[in-house]
Amino acid sequence: MFPKDTIVSRELRLRDCLYCARRRYDANTKIVYVLAESWSVIPNIESSREEDVLNIFSTLSEWPHDSWTTLSVYRDGDEVKAKPDEFEPHHLDKRMLLGEYPLFNYLELPVLETYQTRVFRVLLNDQRCFLKLARFPKDVRAIVKELRAYHTLTELLSNTAPKLLGYACEGTADRVVGFFYEELVGRYPNCRDVQACERSLDRLHELGIYHGDIDRYNIVVTNNGRRAKFIDFEKSMVGPAGCDNEDFEDRKDEESVELLGEVMNDYDNSTGPRVVENQGFLAGLRISL
């Protein structure tokens, strides 16, 4: 029986386009990557619809088979042809994995809510938590930075950020592409939360961590306003890696000033992502990944 295919995301690049597709079979789900080696493979590629892309891919003799994970698609005259498994799917190298955290196949987990193509709320061992993925090779570097920050804070038992819960693999254990971290229940900060936010940021800095992306939507206020926790450490630095100590200290000072500007201005909350306001908010929701 043929799988049900869905284009999850795409990375349109200067000369080619990389697609991430979900293949749902009766018994399991698989993620595959399809590289259109030139824009000419897909007519009007910039504005192409999912069904148009899948219609072209489905004409390939290799397409129905489940033996491949990556497919390189190219034009040979008027024909569209493909080469299976010409490139390796991206993943985090073992050297990038820190600590002893459990590994879970995210494709087997119920998804409660989708925030972006890379961020989801899922059920892990019957507990709600967040999943963050590196959808494409370009995302790996940011994921590694964020992992290092969360791992460091988890090891130090810090309450300035959610705890790291485990690694996410994509089908097989050798393909780690993301991580899970605990769910935060709260709200985004406003001008009344300045002190709580400053305390948390000061503590981050004392622990040698530069956040790198101070934004009110990267802060969640919990415990009835008494505590602020930071998320989204994709631009973070743990210690002055790549810069001297003076520059590192200057960066931390600058983001302390940025914090005041973000928290003191009361923005319209409707423009930002949603935060769960209570524990029962997502009861019964089941959104497929």
Q: What percent of the chain has pLDDT over 90?
A: 77
Q: So what's the pLDDT on residue 247? A: 85
Residue 55: pLDDT above 90? yes
Residue 243: pLDDT above 80? no
Q: What percent of the chain has pLDDT over 70?
A: 90
What average pLDDT does the segment 146-155 reach? 96
What average pLDDT does the segment 155-171 reach? 96
Residue 278: pLDDT above 90? no
Greater model confidence, 152 or 262: 152
Residue 241: pLDDT above 80? no
CA distances from 125 to 106, 110, 132, 169, 205 (A): 12, 10, 17, 16, 33
Q: So what's the pLDDT on residue 266? A: 62
Residue 280: pLDDT above 60? no
Average pLDDT, the chain: 89
State the residue for tokens 């520059």.
Answer: 247
- Domain ranges in the chain are 4-84, 90-289
Confidence of residue 270 (pLDDT cuts 50, 70, 90): very low
Q: So what's the pLDDT on residue 110? A: 93
Cα diameter, the chain: 65
What average pLDDT does the segment 158-175 reach? 96
| CATH code of the domain made up of 90-289 | 3.30.200.20
Give the separation between CA 113 and CA 111, rounded to whole angstroms: 6
Confidence of residue 113 (pLDDT cuts 50, 70, 90): very high
Confidence of residue 268 (pLDDT cuts 50, 70, 90): low
